[in-house]
Amino acid sequence: MEISRDSSDHFRSTITQWFILLGLVLGVTVTNGFARFSYGLMLPAIQAELNWNYMQAGWLGTINAIGYIVGAVFTMLIVQKFPSKYLFAAGLISTSVTLFLTGILVTIEAQFVLRFLAGLFGAISFSTAGALASTLFQDDHKMNALSIAILFGTGGGLGIVISGGIIPLLIDFYGNSVWPICWVIIGVLCVLFCPVGIWSVIKLPRSNMVAKDKQKIPFKSMYAIFTGYASFGLGYIVYLTFISAWMVSLQLSALSITSVWVILGLCICVSPFFWKPIFARFDDGAPLSFILIAIAVGTCIPVLFPSFMGLIVSAVIFGLSVFMAPGAITNFTRKNLHENNWAYSISVFTIIFALAQTIGPFAAGVLGDWLENIGASLLIASIVMMIGAFFAYSQKGMR
C-alpha cells in the first residue's frame, strides 16, 4: 500500500513537472520565438514599405540586440537578490505587452523604442528560463537534459512555426502595409500564453537559486566555451534576420517562404530529441561545437545552392541545431557549476552572446549593401561559426 502511494505521488510529481515545463516553453516562445525572430519574417515588407536598405534593416535588429544586452546585464545584477521565477514572470508579461504595442505604435521612433524594450524584457525572462528548467527532474539526469533541450528547442521553434505559418501569407494577401497587424496578432498570442507561464513559476518548488558565490565560478577556465558562444551570437542571427530577404531576392513565392519557415520551426521543435543523448553524454564543450558546425553548414547552403530545395535542406539542418546552443550552455553550466551559480553564470553567457549578436545584423547589413548581395553575409557568418566550433571543442569539463 505504501509502495502504491509512493508510486502515485511520483507520477503526480512527474506530470506536474511536465506541465511546469510547458509553461516555461510557452514563455520562451514569447521571448525567443516571437520577440526576436518574427521581425525577420516582416523585414521584406518593412523594407519595401519604408524604403529601407539592408543596413537600416540590420540596425533595427541591432537595437533589439542592444536591449537584450541591457536586459542580460540587469538580470545578472538583480538575480543575486530576487528568485529567478519572479524575473521570468515579469519578463514574460512585459515582453507580451511590448509586442502588442509594436503593432499599435507604428512610427519609426516608436519602433526603435519598442524593439529595444522587447530585447530588454525578453532577455530577463530568457536568461532565467534555463536555470528554472534545470531544477526539474532532478532525480533523472537524462530527463533533466531533455527538459533543458525541449525548453530552448520547442519554445523557440513553436514561435517560428506560428509566425512562419501566418506572416508571409498575410503579407502576400493584403500587401506590405499589413505588417503592423501581424505584430498585433503576435501580441495577442503572447498575452494568451502568459497565464500558463505564470502558473508554471507559481508551481515551481521553492529554491535557493539566488547567485551568491560569484568568486567560485572559474571564468578563466571557460574562455573557450565563451568564445564559441560568442561566435554563435555573431553568426546565427544573420540567418534569421536576412533569410527571408534572401528568399525574396530569389523571387520565391509567399507559399515557398512560408514552407521554409514552417519546416525550420518544426525542425527546431523536434531538435531536443536529436540532441538529448549528446547533452546527456558530454559535460564539456563538445555539444556546442557539434551544434555550431551544423548551424554553419545550414547557413551556407542557401548561398551555395540558391534554390527552393537548397533552402529546404538548409532549414532542416539549421532548424535541428540552432536553438540547441543555449541548451548546450545550460547543460554545461548544470554539470560543471554549483546550483547557486547557475542563474548568474547563464546571465554571463547571455551577455557575451548578446554583445556578439548586436554586431551581427548591422555588420551583415553593411556588407550586403556594399556587395549588393546579402548572400555574402550568410557565408561570412558560416565561417565565423566554424571558427567558434573549434574553440568550443577545446573546452574541457571542470568536475
pLDDT classification of 105: cutoffs 50, 70, 90 = very high
Residue 338 DSSP label: -
State which amino acid sits at residue 279: F
209 in any annotated domain:
no
Nearest to 245 by CA among 57, 27, 394: 57
- What is the model's pLDDT at position 215? 47
212 in any annotated domain:
no
**What is the reported pTM?**
0.80
Task: Give the CA distances from residue 239 to residues 129, 164, 222, 315, in Å, rounded to whole numbers and listed in that order.
Answer: 24, 15, 27, 10
For the record, the C-alpha cell of 318 comes out as 539549421
398 in any annotated domain:
no
Q: What is the pLDDT of residues 209-228, one digit of tens each?
A: 444 444 467 778 888 999 99
Q: What is the pLDDT of residues 79-100, one digit of tens each?
A: 778 888 899 999 999 999 999 9
Q: How far apart are CA 250 and CA 375, in angstroms?
A: 11
Q: What is the pLDDT of residues 34-84, one digit of tens each?
A: 988 788 788 888 888 878 777 777 788 788 888 988 998 888 888 778 888
Q: Say how far residue 69 (Cα) sits from the centre of its chain.
A: 14
207 in any annotated domain:
no
Q: What is the CATH number of the domain that holds 234?
A: 1.20.1250.20
Give the domain range for residue 235. 2-202+217-393
- What is the model's pLDDT at position 335? 85
Nearest to 229 by CA among 356, 345, 323: 356
For the record, the C-alpha cell of 230 comes out as 560568442
- What is the model's pLDDT at position 205? 66
185 in any annotated domain:
yes
pLDDT at residue 238 greater than cutoff 60: yes
Q: How far apart are CA 377 and CA 363, in angstroms?
A: 8
State which amino acid sits at residue 243: I
Better-predicted residue by pLDDT, 229 or 347: 229
Q: Could you give the 3-state DSSP secondary structure of residue 134?
A: coil
Task: Give the CA distances from residue 237 to residues 144, 232, 353, 381, in Å, rounded to whole numbers and listed in that order.
Answer: 28, 8, 11, 9
**Structural domain total, the chain:** 1
Nearest to 287 by CA among 275, 274, 269: 275
Task: Give the CA distances from residue 390 to residues 48, 209, 336, in Å, rounded to whole numbers and listed in that order.
Answer: 39, 32, 20
Q: Are 397 and 284 in contact (CB under 8 A)?
A: yes
Q: What is the pLDDT of residues 365-391, one digit of tens each?
A: 787 788 777 788 899 999 999 999 999
Q: Are 90 and 379 in contact (CB under 8 A)?
A: no
Task: Give the CA distances from residue 195 to residues 23, 24, 29, 81, 385, in Å, rounded to whole numbers and listed in that order.
Answer: 8, 11, 13, 25, 37
* CA angle centred on 162, ends 360 and 148, rounded to 5°: 70
CA dihedral 124, 153, 274, 205 (to 10 degrees): 60
183 in any annotated domain:
yes
- What is the model's pLDDT at position 11? 64
Q: What is the pLDDT of residues 152-197, one digit of tens each?
A: 778 888 988 999 899 989 998 999 999 999 999 999 999 999 999 9
Q: How far apart are CA 23 and CA 209, in angstroms?
A: 19
- What is the model's pLDDT at position 4? 54
Q: What is the pLDDT of residues 269-298, one digit of tens each?
A: 888 888 888 888 888 899 999 999 999 999
169 in any annotated domain:
yes
372 in any annotated domain:
yes
Q: How far apart are CA 183 and CA 98, in angstroms?
A: 10
